[in-house]
Amino acid sequence: MSDEQRSLIEPVIIAWKDRRRSVSGHQGAYAMREIVNAILPQGRTGCQWACLPHALPRKSATYHHFAARRDNGTDHVIHELLRCRVRERSRR
């Protein structure tokens, strides 16, 4: 993901994370950047969650974030932002 794309979706991810703050203040073991980096290959290739590279966050953490965003529609918001940017670039 390019820095431009990342800066476009960062406010959406930060807002999502702010709405899901832990009561104890725990912010999770992984940075959101790493979670997004782990979700992208799965979406691109359709591989099983267990087959994600070991250098990425654990499959359980990655799937948890993926499912939470899918269930509340955040994934569609991110998709639309990126889709619109691609269409603008191709002057459509």
Q: For 9-64, write each residue's pLDDT tens digit.
A: 888 887 877 777 766 666 667 888 888 888 887 777 777 878 878 888 888 888 88
> Crossing angle of helices 32-45/59-72, nearest 10°?
80
Query: For helices 32-45 and 3-19, what crossing angle results, to 10°?
Result: 110
**pLDDT of the residue at 51:** 80
Q: How far apart are alpha carbons 39 and 32 in whole angstroms?
A: 11
pTM, rounded to two decimals? 0.70
The pLDDT tens digits of the residues spanning 66-90 come to 898 889 888 888 888 888 888 888 8
